[in-house]
Homo-oligomer: A and B are copies of this chain.
Amino acid sequence: MKISRKTDYALRALFTLVEHYHRGPVSVRELARRNDVPKRFLEQIMLEMKVKGWVASVMGKQGGYVLAKSPESITVGQVVRHFDGVMSPIACVSVHHYQPCSQEPICRFRRLFLDVRNHASRLLESATLASIYQGKPVRPEEVFALELTGGAGI
């Protein structure tokens, strides 16, 4: 139930690249500074994303990274799955990392985790960099909205 820092950092950098789409490369130094990410760590991450084909590098002085695909064609789900591996709360309901469990035939609560996975997955896969970039930042109150409406503690 947790997203790694690597994924978070990757997304921060990607959205900065969306902002600079078709306006030349942005260096890791700049990406790191603007997004408050350790520079050498981000280097690693950018390299991984280059291999994935999401970004392209421009070498040498004045170099940096650019988005290699359109913001419409990269989903947050893809990024999460690549860096965190799994999107399922538990391996017995994972497609890509399925591991069998002896209790499957009788387990009652497995369906609940399946539902959680399905919804999280649908949400993340349908979110492209472009669509998310349109949205506004979260207002502080919104984080507690659920609790205030008599809902759950989270």
Chain A residues at the B interface, C-beta cutoff of 8 Å: 1-3, 8, 11-12, 15, 35-36, 76-77, 80-81, 84, 86-90, 93-96, 98, 102-127, 132-133, 135-138, 140, 142-144, 146-147, 151-154
Contacts and interface: CB of A to CB of B under 8 A. Distances in A.
* 10 tightest A-B CB contacts, nearest first: A125-B152, A3-B89, A95-B154, A121-B154, A121-B152, A36-B102, A3-B90, A111-B138, A110-B138, A87-B154
A124 B112 contact: yes
A138 B107 contact: yes
A110 B86 contact: no
Nearest to A92: B143
Contacts of A126: 152
8 contacts: A1-B88, A95-B144, A96-B154, A104-B138, A108-B133, A120-B120, A121-B154, A122-B152
